Amino acid sequence: MSRSVAIVGGGLAGLSAAVALAERGFAVTVIESRPRLGGRASSFSDPSTGQLIDACQHVSMGCCTNLMHFCKTVGVDRFLKDQPRLWFMTPDGRISVFKADPWPAPFHLGRALASAHYLTAMDKLRIGYGFCRLLCESPDADPPLLPWLQRHHQNARCIDRFWGVILTSALNETVDRIGMKYARKVFRDGFTRHRDGFTVQVPSVPLARLYGDELRAYLSARGVTILENTGVKAIDPASLPIAITFRDGRTLTADDVILAVPFDRVRDLLPPALADQPPFANIAKLQPSPITSVHLWFDRPLLDRPHIVLVDCLGQWIFNRGEMNPGEHYVQVVVSAARPLRGQGRDEIQRLIVQELQRLFPGPAKLLRAKVVTEQTATFSAVPGIDAFRPEQATPVANLYLAGDWTQTGWPATMEGAVISGYRAAEAVLRQHGFAEDLVQSALS
């Protein structure tokens, strides 16, 4: 009889673990409290039109080899579209194009940096120096980034217009709060290891579609049971098989359990005496960082590019989603590390973003409607020394495992980190039962 594995959480971490274990003969049950899969990579139905809208635009990069492996495995990689050019816009409306030259890494992006209109020649020299020094640092060094940048001759303009623009989007945190380890990771993997590492990949379909029919068919063909709209109240790992109690009072037992829920939910599911012991107690020290997305529909196209990265603006990215309904042209503005917006109502946030877009794109486009969505616990904050609080996927409790981008992955809070965590949790389950197999994919090199 195949061993049973219950995976609590149907986000990317849980799904990647489910795919890996189902391929290897385990009887897998995925338990998700929401009526859909995907976790934070989610969509909602727009009440005005019924169309699926992503709560927040998710993007990947060429360096995200495990996410791409997962998407290819389940057959949805065709929905990720490469965008080899990035457009950077300043408040005066000027635009610089960031693209690779046909040279080997790390020289392929030299001309792109040199052509950035929003940096002076001296800024670019400073950035080049800081970049080289950053790469020379130990991969495990994690002091506060801002003082390090200042000690290495990065002025306010370099910090705001280069380091901050890239890192706030990549890490969902501001430069003054970031540790050096994951800042270095972003630049090392995204910009220097491989010429395709920086290539942005954007889903061409809503996230509910990306993690929809093909994924379900893949899981069904391998005997995976999916329980949606099924909230878990408690996990009791004191005996084997492990007992899972649902919120409606039903129970389920499994030989192995993977908790693949957000970090702020883990300890609530465990017996209090266990939740207060390491490594579970340290999870409470992880700090959340919010993301705000402003969804806007105009009566005509606002921009003629697939996206724009904003410099010195409230928003960081504008994504052009096209004419999703006749006469309605949809754009989404993302504000990462949106902590400064706390306390401001949705109407005020909408007003500020619309005002900014009107300055950037003056013209006759008329706003038809809008929706503001804030995810207060979108990611964990990559503060200095954060890895001291991130647990391994295997726990001291027999047959109980953790998965999530907040576990030890070597990555910040990203879709890539989520998939790595799922694969590592699956590796730990396999080891428990006498099988050694490496599931995590190699980085681009």
**pLDDT 10s digits, 175-202:** 999 999 999 999 999 999 898 999 999 9
pLDDT tens, 391-400? 999 999 999 9
Separation of alpha carbons 124 and 25, rounded Å: 54
pLDDT tens, 334-348? 999 999 999 899 999
pLDDT of residue 150: 98
Mean pLDDT over residues 230-259, rounded? 96
pLDDT of residue 56: 87
pLDDT of residue 444: 81
Q: Is the pLDDT of residue 1 over 50?
A: no
Separation of alpha carbons 376 and 340, rounded Å: 12
pLDDT tens, 120-151? 999 999 999 999 999 999 999 999 999 999 99
Helix residue spans in 137-249 (DSSP H): 145-151, 156-158, 164-171, 180-187, 207-210, 213-221
pLDDT of residue 27: 97
pLDDT tens, 378-435? 999 999 999 999 999 999 999 999 999 999 999 999 999 999 999 999 999 999 999 9
Domains of the chain: 4-41+211-285+384-432 (3.50.50.60), 49-64+81-100+199-204+288-380 (3.90.660.10), 104-192 (no CATH)
Separation of alpha carbons 372 and 15, rounded Å: 28
CB within 8 Å of 205: residues ≥ 6 apart? 79
Q: Is the pLDDT of residue 2 over 80?
A: no
Separation of alpha carbons 67 and 169, rounded Å: 18
Q: Which pLDDT band holds residue 262 (cuts at 50, 70, 90)? A: very high
The dihedral built from the CA positions of residue 258, 260, 266 and 269, taken in this order, carries a sign that is negative
Cα–Cα distances (Å) from 408 to 138, 353, 418, 443, in that order, read: 18, 36, 10, 17
What pTM does this model have?
A: 0.96
Q: How many helices (H) and strands (E) does the chain have?
A: 14, 20
